[in-house]
Amino acid sequence: MTRNIRSLSFVASQAPEAQEGLEELVARYGNADPDEADVIVALGGDGFMLQTLHSMMNSGKLIYGMNRGSVGFLMNRYSCDGLPERVARAEENICRPLEMRTIDADGNRREALAINEVYLFRQSYQAAKLRVVVDGRIRLEELICDGLLLATPAGSTAYNLSAHGPILPLEAPLLALTPVSPFRPRRWRGALLPDHVEVQIDILEPEKRPVNAVADYTEVKSVTSVRIVQSENSTAIILSDPDHSWSERILSEQFQY
């Protein structure tokens, strides 16, 4: 697919390297208003890319990232040359985020979206004690652990991988449910779930064992219940170079040693 690129809008993190890239690219290509640009070009690392995807959620804008950060798994390589041509040939990947719905200790309800993962983690020195319910059926009556996360294919190579969870191909209709330092049950190492299920996590003994919940970078403290479903209405579109596609990056991660 080759698209017609008439204007680009550049955004960058505050990192010096990203700001230098911003200055270089704007001097060469100009900087269109984000509302009028064909493509938003994000300069920074994966964290900044997630922020950009969230800010452009449901806008229909195409997001093309270039790595000017530390990890840059979500990003393309940085180069000032031939950028409109690269963007024109880039592949589209549609991200459908997870919806996190929480209830905290005061009864407050909050919602947030997660492109990578929703994760729960203990707030104090004591391990979390959780009940895991999938589509209304209790699957784990009691899970004692440091944390628990539900990752999308896009997020399966992030925190999920660090917690020894499985890497999911980008096209797989699956979610990875992965415990962090599980103590009981000892042999439970997680599960692969269809992406259409509803996962509910109830915090047991929340006063004694407080737990926080995070959707990408939105944190809710002292939750008592967390429900997670894949969003039916929200999407973000990320572009990747054909010779280094997002699907290829995820596949390559499975052969690292």
151 in a labelled binding site: no
- Which parts of 105-152 are beta strand (E)? 109-114, 117-122, 128-134, 137-145, 147-151
53 in a labelled binding site: no
* Cα–Cα dist 249/56, whole Å: 23
231 in a labelled binding site: no
Instruction: Please identify which of the residues 33, 35, 38, 46 carries the catalytic annotation.
Output: 46
Closest CA to 213 of 160, 157, 149, 166: 149
Q: Which two tokens stand for residue 112?
A: 């947030």
158 in a labelled binding site: yes
CB-based contact 150:176 (threshold 8 Å): yes
117 in a labelled binding site: yes
47 in a labelled binding site: yes
CB-based contact 130:150 (threshold 8 Å): no
Please give the helix or strand (H or E) that residue 230 lies within, else none.
strand 223-230
Residue 223's DSSP bridge partners are 104
Q: State whether the Cα torsion 92-252-117-188 is positive or negative.
A: positive
Among this protein's residues, is 35 annotated catalytic?
no
In this structure, what DSSP letter does residue 207 have? T
253 in a labelled binding site: no
154 in a labelled binding site: yes
Residue 169 CB partners (closer than 8 Å, separation 6+): 153, 247, 250, 251
* Cα–Cα dist 72/53, whole Å: 14
157 in a labelled binding site: yes
Q: State whether the Cα torsion 252-196-97-220 is positive or negative.
A: negative
24 in a labelled binding site: no
Annotated binding site: 46-47, 116-117, 146, 154, 157-162
Annotated binding site for NAD(+): 46-47, 116-117, 146, 154, 157-162
What is the set of active-site residues?
A: 46
